[in-house]
Amino acid sequence: MTMPIDMRSDTVTRPTPEMRQAIAAAEVGDDMSGEDPTVNRLEARMAEMLGKEAAVFACSATQANQMAVRTHCIPGDELLIESTGHIALFEAGGPAALSGVTCRLLNGQYGILDLIDFEGKIRADNQHFCRTRLVCLENTTNVGGGRVYPLENLTRIGQWARRHGLKVHLDGARLFNAVVASRVSAADICRAADTVTVCFSKGLGCPMGAVLAGTQEDMARARRVRKLFGGALRQAGIVAAAALYALDHHIERLETDHANARAFAAAIADIAGLTVDPPDVQTNLVFFNVARSLGNAAQLSAKLKQHHVLINASGPQRLRACTHLDVDRAAVLRAAQIVRESVAAGFADLPGSATGPYARG
């Protein structure tokens, strides 16, 4: 049986044998009572790495993001977010459903905002309007192309938010990709944010888990919110042990994923009818567009699947390929060759809707 080259997302990674050993050997306790020593070590370590006072372990980055929204906001509040932000688009309407918070979408560049994008966006202090309360940023950007937020943008936005009495949450689901790509420490990247989320089940290769970090006061509230959202855990050390292993062994190797992504992008860049966008691949995500004259993205995805390459559509004409620890250089170059052959053979006759669903994780 031919094993597929799975480039749908870094969420498809499986625990390595060594990570499985760490899971099996984990010391555990009742985390909801604060008695799981492995979770406690992970929370303390992440707080230190991110330059925050405390951290709370969560089931997923989506849960951690929604904990942050509820921590900072009350029903009727509004958050400001770039139009492609994960919190607004891909978390099942969580801000509204869980916290009664609306999302105001701002148009940035490849998922990145700067001060000019916030001009005139704070609601007037008037009973007719919701209260603008929170700014949500994403680093790296997902739909924006795996871009790394410039440190100067983060600093400017953080200073602006504080002047106006707003809080800042950083969705750092792929934060360590940004750390490795920019060679800026996690603490420096997170300095402007009041809270930050980090996901362990993407590039770090864990089976599940995320963390939310911030002040002691905010994390005490977030822990109550985690319980409210059904995320209080018991012997969660078996999962936290995987995260601790990943922090020791899987951060620096993210550069391999980035190099493989650049190699894949370079290998498909000259295929007639395809356009890599953005063209300068910064981390482990490669977005590319297919010309309408050839067909749509879902059809090309279906064609690739016939040849055991899994790359999802991320828009009517856009696809997203993601590199991770379970695909090596030979695999991504083979995938690129199959893309070339598939385009040459044609795929417009295949079924495939140009209206989604689209890649998001």
- Please tell me the predicted confidence (pLDDT) of residue 281: 98
% of the chain residues with pLDDT over 90: 96
Q: How confident is the model at residue 121 (pLDDT cuts 50, 70, 90)?
A: very high
In this prediction, residues 8-26 reach a mean pLDDT of: 98
Name the H helices within the chain: 17-24, 37-50, 61-72, 86-89, 94-99, 151-163, 175-182, 186-190, 216-228, 237-249, 254-268, 297-306, 329-345
In this prediction, residues 90-115 reach a mean pLDDT of: 98
Name the H helices within 61-145: 61-72, 86-89, 94-99
Using the predicted structure, report yes or no on whether residue 352 has a pLDDT greater than 90. no
The answer to whether the CB of 284 falls within 8 A of the CB of 146 is yes
Domain 253-345, CATH class in plain words: alpha beta
- Please tell me the predicted confidence (pLDDT) of residue 8: 98
How far CA 60 is from CA of 56, 89, 195, 212, 231, in Å, comes to 11, 16, 15, 10, 9
Q: What is the dihedral of CA 87, 93, 97, 99, to 10 degrees?
A: 20
- Please tell me the predicted confidence (pLDDT) of residue 354: 63
User: If you average pLDDT over every residue of the chain, what do you get?
Assistant: 96
In this prediction, residues 77-83 reach a mean pLDDT of: 98
Q: How confident is the model at residue 309 (pLDDT cuts 50, 70, 90)?
A: very high
DSSP 25: T
Using the predicted structure, report yes or no on whether residue 355 has a pLDDT greater than 70. no
Q: How much is the pTM?
A: 0.96
- Please tell me the predicted confidence (pLDDT) of residue 276: 98
Q: Is 359 helix (H, G, I), strand (E, B) or coil?
A: coil
Options 3.40.190.10, 1.10.3720.10, 3.40.640.10, 3.40.1190.20; CATH of 15-249: 3.40.640.10
Closest by CA to 74, choosing from 130, 115, 141, 13, is: 130
Residue 296, number of CB atoms within 10 A of its CB = 24
Contacts of 125 (CB under 8 A, 6+ apart): none
Residue 126, number of CB atoms within 10 A of its CB = 7
Does the fold of domain 253-345 match that of domain 15-249?
no
Where are the chain's structural domains? 15-249, 253-345
Tell me the per-residue pLDDT of 131-190, one tens digit each, with 9 for 90 and over: 999 999 999 999 999 999 999 999 999 999 999 999 999 999 999 999 999 999 999 999
Tell me the per-residue pLDDT of 193-239, one tens digit each, with 9 for 90 and over: 999 999 999 999 999 999 999 999 999 999 999 999 999 999 999 99
Using the predicted structure, report yes or no on whether residue 279 has a pLDDT greater than 90. yes
For residue 127, count CB atoms less than 10 angstroms from its CB and return exposed for 0-12, middle for 13-18, buried for 19 or more.
Answer: exposed
CA 231, 52, 77 angle in degrees (round to 5)? 60
